[in-house]
Structure 1
Amino acid sequence: MDSHSRVRIYTDTVLVRDKIRADTPTILLVVGADPLEQLLEFFREKCLSLSAERTYAQATGRFIEWLSVRAIEFSDATKRSLLFNAFAHDLRFGTYRAGEDLYGLYWRPTSHQNMGRLTRALLHFSDWLNSRLGTTLLNPIHHQASPAEQLIFWRRWNKQRLGSLLAHTKGRSGAEADVHTSRKLRLPRDRNSVLQEVKAFPAEHLEHLLWRGFANPGNEQDPRLWMKYKLRDILITLLCAYGGCRASEPLHLWVEDVLVDPDDAELALVLVHEPNDGLAEYTDPMTGVRRRTTRADFLQRFCGGRKPLTRETGRRHAGWKGSLLTHRERRAFQVFWIDKNAGRLFLSLWRLYIQHVRPVVPQVPWAFLTKDGQPLGVEGFADSFQAAVRRIGLTPGKWAGTTTHGLRHRYGQWLNDLGLGDKEGQVAMHHVNARSQDVYRQRGVSGVAAAIGNLSITSLPHFTETA
């Protein structure tokens, strides 16, 4: 079959709400015009994170598209065991040959790490398909076989074929062990390792970012700070740069989460609660007794059926990465100010923000809202941040550290400057694993060069010029 007779199947992913899982956002893989129901059932059983679901959907979608144009090449029984290996190589090295892509996939080469991530997800999902749906071998060449059925066939066929070939020399356990080993791909190794240099927001531009980047255009001469500046975005930036928060974490703050530090009346004590299970307190209207519940329950019962921002979609969505909770009973972590002056500035601006800027909206407890009184999501803050970065003459980009996450990297580099140990750094950055802070605290090329340049070695040989 030539390239023109191949009919490529297109896939796409859509973010939807799953009513079975209390309207939790989930990724739906659409194959042609139909959703892949098996993948949705897999997600319902495994309860993965949204980012993990995207990986599984991407891997499955790519394999389905690849099968639609290349499966015919492996219809001969002697070649079927090569199919998965061919897919992995196309994934790793791309589908262009001599500058042309005869398959119409237009895949560019990807890294070893990305290829491994996708193939592991694909194998995991296909094993689940075998255990749930496959007791009879399906014919992938039959025109009625769906892409999902083909996926079941190829993985199951390889597994049974290898097992039967080894059965005459080994027991059952030995054959199964070799079947598992056969799934490992033998691609050329990349023997080079690249320094993943930390790109933190440049410290010398932070002041400009706060007072020029977040200035309200047209109100530069207004003496009222809440009119002159975008206080909401300045507050979030202070939490990320001087408090080490991820950009999504301040968006989960409720108004009641910002307190006055009992040891310093001018310092803000900020507690960031887990969006679903964080503590929420209320007064029972029947008894007047102060009661406790989770934030998800409070939003559902007392805020008109609202949901935590982790379960919202679109511009209201804000993610949550598992964090080290320093306040166990509240299911919250405390923000540790790298500079207490930043915490004092935060408290003074916070009071102005609450009094003059934040819309008063019943049943909306979040601190940071849009102008129409809706909770601010990650996209909304990212858009405002990028505009502020451009306003001070910088280009938003991960390579320069001028993204919202670059603020957290700045916090990590300041921890190095202060000489804090791993344990203190873990708590300050609220990492569950102490090693997770390494990427934030790793010295870059310039830092290594400066450190080595400051060393003094007295045993160097004496060099003289020769004629």
Structure 2
Amino acid sequence: MAAIVKVQAQVKTDHSGSMIECPALLTEQGVFEPLLDYIVSQSHIKSLPWMNRVVLACQLLLEYMEVNRGLFSDPSLLFQSFVQRLSSGTISKQGDDLSGLYWLPRSTSNVNQLLSALNGLTDWLSKNNETLSLNPFEEASSHQERLNYAAWYKRNQYNFLGHIKNNALPELMKKVRKVRGKKDVIKVDGDAISFPENLFKQFFLQGIGSSRDKRVALRDQLILLLMHGAGVRESDALHLWVDDVFLDPMNSDSVMVRLYHPEDGKAPNNWRGRKRQSTRAAYLQEKYHLTPRNKLTGTARVGWKTKIVDHDDNYIQLHWFPAYYGEVFSYLWAQYLLHLLPLERIHPYAFVSFSKNSLGNPLTLNAFNQNYKSAMARVGLVVSKPEGRSPHGHRHAYGRRMSNAGMDIHIIKKALHHSSLMSQSIYTQPGVRDVTLACE
């Protein structure tokens, strides 16, 4: 089977000199252009994880097409078989695989994600190749010909992955994808997904707080407080700038923390750029020649999922619950700044590395997660998402804590910065222990 390799591409789309960095596929014929065109067309609105998912889905489909060349005359049947193999794997009961793919069975949710990614790709190909016919296929690469045929078949036969056009709503509602993933099992949020409240003090003091480097202990305790006491994701915390922490006018022993959108958030201190811009993206570019962390690739990238902001300056206001978490944060923040401010930094981020080889650089998610794992080991435990002992478990604990306190669901929605009440159900519905106690 010809190798199909995922690579990181830099694409020049104009004369500005600025390059778009995105994943791509490299085949025997070179870069697989239909996929790259699709990724580039969506790069300004889609995240890197989405790009990686589309590239993986396309890679798997092309690999399946390659080993089954000439076997299917109908692309719809080929795709149905492809989806079946994603679910069941390609290895026989005897442990061999004549196709050479050696795919293990994938979960229903993962298959559905890959199917959704391919839906978007083939919809886009169908829509943007209006003049496509079967004739040019002789000049196209084998991979491109097969994918183009799939898009052509879809547009002309109402088949392959389904058919979407600008129809009236009643007519559109009658249509479904011809090839669909299985319905996933319905998951409920039990006690396991929330970080155990009775473990937090020990983990905070003896786990995170007992790092041999005092600076690391302070930094990671501050991040942990943001997650556990204010409900932020670990990725959100790493977007914090030093200028985003303010004295609380209502409580002199506490602080207010604002997390600004990494691109569209307002720059600090009423900054204005040469072109009168005032966004953080412009500030980073003009002052530090940096790109917002959510637009980077590799280990330097830090995602941003929050879509709801609290202010026209594009920030979310964090809310401490209980309130004393804000006072603890304030106390530790003052100590942390004594270690941070003397460092030579060429960026505005608050949480930095104290390792010798990367001293002063923005802290990466990988580094924090490794520290989290080491801290868990110091209290004799291991990281476990099913048991809630993971960074995201603290956000669940925050939402569950508010729910157990009897807070109005609209207040909880505001504190978690969700776009809908449905989004927070996984954080606030009763856990397994709640149901057990109610039945006694």
Normalised-by-shorter TM-score class: 0.7 to 0.9
**TM superposition shift of 1:276:** 0.7
Which of 347, 352, 356 does residue 369 from structure 1 map onto?
A: 352
Q: Is the 8 A contact 1:214 1:234 kept in 2?
A: yes
Cα deviation code 1:111-153 (max 9, x no counterpart)? 333323222321321232244346121698x797421221111
Which of 61, 64, 67 does residue 65 from structure 2 map onto?
A: 67
What is residue 127 of structure 1 aligned with on the other side? Answer: 123
In structure 2, give the amino acid aligned to 1:112: T
**TM superposition shift of 1:162:** 6.2
**TM superposition shift of 1:211:** 1.4
Alignment of 1:311-322 (within 5 A): 311-322=295-306
**TM superposition shift of 1:411:** 0.8
For 2:352 and 2:124, the matched residues in 1 are separated by 42
> Normalising to structure 1: TM-score of the pair?
0.80
**TM superposition shift of 1:186:** 6.4
What is residue 460 of structure 1 aligned with on the other side? Answer: none
**TM superposition shift of 1:52:** 1.6
Q: Is the 8 A contact 1:280 1:293 kept in 2?
A: yes
For 1:88 and 1:445, the matched residues in 2 are separated by 35
**In structure 2, do the counterparts of structure 1 residues 359 and 417 end up closer, same or farther at CA, with 3 Å as the change threshold?**
farther
**In structure 2, do the counterparts of structure 1 residues 292 and 262 end up closer, same or farther at CA, with 3 Å as the change threshold?**
farther
Which of 153, 156, 171 does residue 152 from structure 2 map onto?
A: 156
Cα deviation code 1:321-379 (max 9, x no counterpart)? 133212x1321111100112111010011011001345532542111111211111221
What is residue 267 of structure 1 aligned with on the other side? Answer: 254
In structure 1, give the amino acid aligned to 2:195: F
For 2:158 and 2:80, the matched residues in 1 are separated by 14
Cα deviation code 1:18-38 (max 9, x no counterpart)? 554944542223335833222
Q: Is the 8 A contact 2:271 2:278 kept in 1?
A: no
Cα deviation code 1:422-466 (max 9, x no counterpart)? 21111111112222111222323222222232xxxxxxxxxxxxx
In structure 2, give the amino acid aligned to 1:37: E
What is residue 376 of structure 2 aligned with on the other side? Answer: 389
Which of 246, 253, 258 does residue 240 from structure 2 map onto?
A: 253
For 1:151 and 1:200, the matched residues in 2 are separated by 44
What is residue 82 of structure 1 aligned with on the other side? Answer: 77
Q: Is the 8 A contact 1:358 1:368 kept in 2?
A: no
**TM superposition shift of 1:261:** 0.4
Range 278-287 or range 57-66, more displaced: 278-287
2:252 aligned counterpart, secondary structure: coil
For 2:139 and 2:20, the matched residues in 1 are separated by 36
**In structure 2, do the counterparts of structure 1 residues 286 and 120 end up closer, same or farther at CA, with 3 Å as the change threshold?**
closer
For 1:82 and 1:324, the matched residues in 2 are separated by 42
Range 334-343 or range 208-217, more displaced: 208-217
Q: Is the 8 A contact 2:236 2:259 kept in 1?
A: yes
**TM superposition shift of 1:283:** 7.0
Range 349-358 or range 8-17, more displaced: 8-17
Range 58-67 or range 307-316, more displaced: 307-316
What is residue 434 of structure 2 aligned with on the other side? Answer: 447
Range 355-364 or range 311-320, more displaced: 355-364
In structure 1, give the amino acid aligned to 2:297: T
1:267 aligned counterpart, secondary structure: strand
What is residue 29 of structure 1 aligned with on the other side? Answer: 25
**TM superposition shift of 1:98:** 2.6
**In structure 2, do the counterparts of structure 1 residues 344 and 217 end up closer, same or farther at CA, with 3 Å as the change threshold?**
closer
**In structure 2, do the counterparts of structure 1 residues 27 and 354 end up closer, same or farther at CA, with 3 Å as the change threshold?**
same
**TM superposition shift of 1:56:** 1.1
Which of 263, 268, 287 does residue 302 from structure 1 map onto?
A: 287
Alignment of 1:330-345 (within 5 A): 330-345=313-328
Q: Does 2:89 align with 1:94?
A: yes
Which of 409, 413, 419 does residue 432 from structure 1 map onto?
A: 419
**In structure 2, do the counterparts of structure 1 residues 337 and 148 end up closer, same or farther at CA, with 3 Å as the change threshold?**
same
**In structure 2, do the counterparts of structure 1 residues 72 and 285 end up closer, same or farther at CA, with 3 Å as the change threshold?**
closer
**TM superposition shift of 1:241:** 0.5
Identity of aligned residues (%): 29
1:101 aligned counterpart, secondary structure: coil
For 2:389 and 2:113, the matched residues in 1 are separated by 27
What is residue 162 of structure 2 aligned with on the other side? Answer: none
**In structure 2, do the counterparts of structure 1 residues 16 and 282 end up closer, same or farther at CA, with 3 Å as the change threshold?**
farther
What is residue 307 of structure 2 aligned with on the other side? Answer: 323
Structure 1: any 5+ residue segments left out of the alignment? 1-7, 164-172, 220-225, 454-467
Q: Does 2:393 align with 1:406?
A: yes
Q: Does 2:50 align with 1:52?
A: yes
1:268 aligned counterpart, secondary structure: strand
Cα deviation code 1:373-401 (max 9, x no counterpart)? 11112212111111111111111121121
What is residue 41 of structure 1 aligned with on the other side? Answer: 37
2:402 aligned counterpart, secondary structure: helix
**In structure 2, do the counterparts of structure 1 residues 448 and 138 end up closer, same or farther at CA, with 3 Å as the change threshold?**
farther
**In structure 2, do the counterparts of structure 1 residues 81 and 40 end up closer, same or farther at CA, with 3 Å as the change threshold?**
closer
**TM superposition shift of 1:10:** 3.5
For 1:20 and 1:359, the matched residues in 2 are separated by 41
What is residue 456 of structure 1 aligned with on the other side? Answer: none
Cα deviation code 1:38-66 (max 9, x no counterpart)? 22211221232212212211111110000
What is residue 188 of structure 2 aligned with on the other side? Answer: 195
1:368 aligned counterpart, secondary structure: coil
For 1:404 and 1:263, the matched residues in 2 are separated by 30
Structure 2: any 5+ residue segments left out of the alignment? 160-166
In structure 2, give the amino acid aligned to 1:381: F
Q: Does 2:7 align with 1:11?
A: no
Computing the radius of gyration from Cα coordinates, the structure with the larger value is 1
Q: Is the 8 A contact 1:137 1:153 kept in 2?
A: yes
In structure 2, give the amino acid aligned to 1:185: V
**TM superposition shift of 1:15:** 4.4
Which of 276, 290, 309 does residue 263 from structure 2 map onto?
A: 276
For 1:46 and 1:218, the matched residues in 2 are separated by 45
**TM superposition shift of 1:273:** 0.6
Which of 313, 338, 360 does residue 355 from structure 1 map onto?
A: 338
Q: Is the 8 A contact 2:126 2:154 kept in 1?
A: no
